[in-house]
Amino acid sequence: MKLTIFRAILVAAAALALGSVAYSQTVNIRAQVPFDFVVGDKIYPAGECAVQTLVNHSHLTYVGNRNEDKSAMVTPEVVTAGKPSPRTVLIFHQLGKTLFLYEVWSEGSTVGMQFPRSRSETRLAMNGIRTETVTVAANITH
């Protein structure tokens, strides 16, 4: 409980400090994810997932599940594509029955976020489990 309150205060303070410039550049994506998934060392249950940066292309990104009040701040890498993404999506790597958040793309953008592999994803891959890609449609919200 204390950690959740601390995170909320941290996000609010950063948003206030960055002012209106940050508001205009914030990436705020919501998706209904129909399966449990992993980001870093946390398991997120199926439900409404939120991915938000404080500043466009920021290395500090909030990932949360609105149904279970589960969240974390993570540091994805910025990745680029040759052409703009045709839609807003969350891309997952599936290894066996476990799904890992891999990338997030916003419609019309050539810049996306790629999340680092967790230890469990690396371990599964090293054990020869084949990686499949699963894409979930998402929406940009303001």
> Is residue 92 over pLDDT 80?
yes
Please tell me the pTM assigned to this model: 0.76
Average pLDDT over residues 28-41: 93
- Give the model confidence (pLDDT) of 108-132 as tens digits: 999 999 999 999 999 999 998 899 9
What does the pLDDT read at residue 19? 35
What does the pLDDT read at residue 1? 52
Q: Could you state, in order of their start, the residue ranges of all structural domains in the chain?
A: 2-140
> Is residue 23 over pLDDT 70?
no
Instruction: Locate 80 and state its tokens.
Output: 């680029």
Number of neighbours of residue 63 by Cβ within 10 angstroms: 25
Bridge partners (DSSP) listed for residue 22: none
> Is residue 95 over pLDDT 60?
yes
Tokens 């699963």, residue located? 134
Phi, psi values for residue 23, rounded to 5°: -60, -40
What does the pLDDT read at residue 131? 92
> Is residue 5 over pLDDT 50?
no
The amino acid occupying position 102 is Y
